[in-house]
Structure 1
Amino acid sequence: MRVLLGMCADDSRAAVALAVPVLIGIAADPHHPHRAAALGGLAAPARARYFGVASRDELLLHRSGSQHEALDDYDDYGVEVTGYPAGWSVAAARAAITAGTSLLLPLLEDSDPAMRIEASYALATAADAGHTVRDTFATRFAEEQNPMVLAALVLATAETTRAHPHRPATAWIRDLWQDPAQTPEVRLAAAIGWLCLTDDPAPDTLHTAVDVLATKERARTMDALPWMAAVGGNEPGLLRCVRRMLHPDEPDPYSDDPWASQP
């Protein structure tokens, strides 16, 4: 298990992608001692070029299509350190997650909130032409009580909606960030998700809501969401998203480039 997850961290997706069906089986086994680690690792090879990415154009970018997406759809993903085309691994991992959807969906009801979050993260990469996954996200959102899991369901819905556009889902996400009755975590996740789903300029009301809600403490807490953890680094992921999406002209305060802050 540690070897597989370490290979993923080293960008050796070609090997890890082949293990995704096995990891799904481990994650779905309620008695397996390493099910949390398996679930936490299986979604990474299904994504590429997302570590540190926080722009509206790329954060939730997802190839659309069916379970049988053409491998050449991923030609621009580059080459892994192993020498294999990274896109092949991404396509293979997503196909495996799609095939294992029936095993992963019940994990959205797991007793452990962290498992529910990771299940949302994995399922967001599945091909969902029939909207089964997105509909299940909506059902779980209506029943969920944990603010961080609710935020995960919002981001997962936004990601799958970007792959399979659906105006009602986009409108629902827009309504969430506008709704003061929602938790701050949900409103912030919805603001990020909506920005990734539309090219519309961010309205003043969104700027105001994010400026009030996106505190440093809350941003650090929201790094429990794998989308935000992958974005961050020295800077909490949420704050990096806010800076890149709402203030793109601001220099990166954590850049190693001595000229980054120069006009």
Structure 2
Amino acid sequence: MTDGADLSSFVGGPFDVRAVVAAIRPGTKDGFLLDEVPWEHFPQGDHVKEAIHLLHTGNSPVRTGTGFVSGMCANDMRAAAVLAVPFLIRIAADTRHPHRAGALAEVSSPARALHFGVASRNELLLHRGNTPYDDLYDGYGVEVTGYPAGWSVAAARAAITADTALLKPLLDDPDPAIRISAAYALATAADPDRAVRAAFRTRLDAELDPIVRSALVLATAEATRTHPHTPTTACMRQRWRDRTLAPEARLAAAIGWLCLTDEPAPDELRAVVEDLATDERAQAMEDLPWMAAVGGSEETGLRRCVRKMLHPEQPDPVWYDDPWAPRP
């Protein structure tokens, strides 16, 4: 499949990753019957299959290439990576697997596109709906291979949605990193009945770790961006104003509220962010995958969000445009 091809002829067929993912049998996923999946229909598919096989069999992270899926997504090749999502979820759900945390961190990579370095109110938590079969691009454009990026994103979100029953228990995992990654993945699921957001709220009521609480707040905001819910938006506002909450959670709520409304940022919010967004907290919040994705070597994700959302008139630092420019 190449750029400029008549994509309508591929819709619903063996090269439409949305249709392929939907057709994977539950027994194929649970039994890791990798040979039943047509990896060869998509660029680098055989390499993804091998990486999943090695990861499933418990080899060392060096051999398994735990970051293979996210690396492909960073290189703007998601179609084959999407096929790995159901298997990565099952590895993550296996409490005995030695590399479950790494597998879970990979799950949501194909479900997001055009988000690295994107920190504006309009785009940070933006998710378009599952790509309809009559909309070939859905605003995402094409991957470097010419494959419709929107198809890959929609297929990945559908795969995650199909396995929310496996992911939601991970919100209660003893490992904070697992809880954060589970929230990040579940935030991309379709959630019209707000069951996923209910799971976030339930965990938030019990969560003590301030960074995990921040993850749950951002995940709630991202899910709400996809499925708008006025009471949730109002709750975000209450959270950033609540002085009894952890500062990190208040900052996450401020970012979430800004992404869910077109209202001008009130002076009260600006004061809260200015007071709480210290360098120390900005570094701590780099553990949040939302922040890690939008930051850079010279600017944390939180700092970039604050600059882009509250001071959009300020230009990017010169090193964002010129990698050879001298650093301050």
> Under TM normalisation by the shorter chain, which class is it?
over 0.9
Cα distance in structure 1, aligned partners of 2:219 and 2:320: 32
Cα distance in structure 2, aligned partners of 1:170 and 1:141: 16
CA gap 1:254/1:184 in 2 versus in 1, 3 angstroms: farther
User: CA deviation digits over 1:26-80, x for unaligned, max 9?
Assistant: 1111111111111101101101110000000000001236xxx514274321111
Deviation at 1:253, TM superposition (A): 2.4
- Of 196, 200, 205, which residue of structure 2 is paired with 1:142? 205
Q: Which residue of 1 aligns with 2:302?
A: 238
Cα distance in structure 1, aligned partners of 2:318 and 2:202: 39
- Of 16, 19, 23, which residue of structure 1 is paired with 2:88? 23
Cα distance in structure 2, aligned partners of 1:237 and 1:43: 18
Cα distance in structure 2, aligned partners of 1:36 and 1:140: 19
Cα distance in structure 2, aligned partners of 1:183 and 1:53: 25
Contact 2:136 2:151 in 1 (8 A): no
Alignment of 1:10 with 2:75, yes or no, is yes
Higher relative contact order (CA 8 A, sep 6+): 1
Q: Output the amino acid matched with 2:108.
A: A
Q: Which residue of 1 aligns with 2:7?
A: none
Contact 1:54 1:244 in 2 (8 A): yes
Q: Residue 255 of structure 1 aligns to a residue in which SS?
A: helix
Q: Residue 251 of structure 1 aligns to a residue in which SS?
A: coil
Aligned pairs for 1:2-151 (under 5 A) are: 2=65, 3-64=68-129, 69-71=131-133, 72=135, 74-151=137-214
Q: Residue 108 of structure 1 aligns to a residue in which SS?
A: helix
CA RMSD of superposed structures (Å):
1.4
Deviation at 1:11, TM superposition (A): 1.9
Contact 2:70 2:110 in 1 (8 A): no
Q: Output the amino acid matched with 2:102.
A: A
Aligned pairs for 1:169-208 (under 5 A) are: 169-208=232-271
Cα distance in structure 1, aligned partners of 2:260 and 2:231: 12
- Of 148, 153, 166, which residue of structure 1 is paired with 2:216? 153
CA gap 1:161/1:253 in 2 versus in 1, 3 angstroms: same
Q: TM-score, normalised by structure 1?
A: 0.93
Cα distance in structure 1, aligned partners of 2:279 and 2:287: 14
User: CA deviation digits over 1:178-228, x for unaligned, max 9?
Assistant: 011111100000000000000000000000000011111211110100000
Alignment of 1:165 with 2:228, yes or no, is yes
Cα distance in structure 1, aligned partners of 2:187 and 2:313: 30
Contact 1:46 1:93 in 2 (8 A): yes
Q: Which residue of 2 aligns with 1:261?
A: none
Cα distance in structure 2, aligned partners of 1:10 and 1:223: 22
Q: Which residue of 2 aligns with 1:253?
A: 317
Highest Rg: 1 or 2? Answer: 2
- The aligned length equals 255
CA gap 1:8/1:64 in 2 versus in 1, 3 angstroms: closer
Cα distance in structure 1, aligned partners of 2:321 and 2:103: 37
Deviation at 1:9, TM superposition (A): 2.7
Stretch moving more, 178-187 or 73-82:
73-82
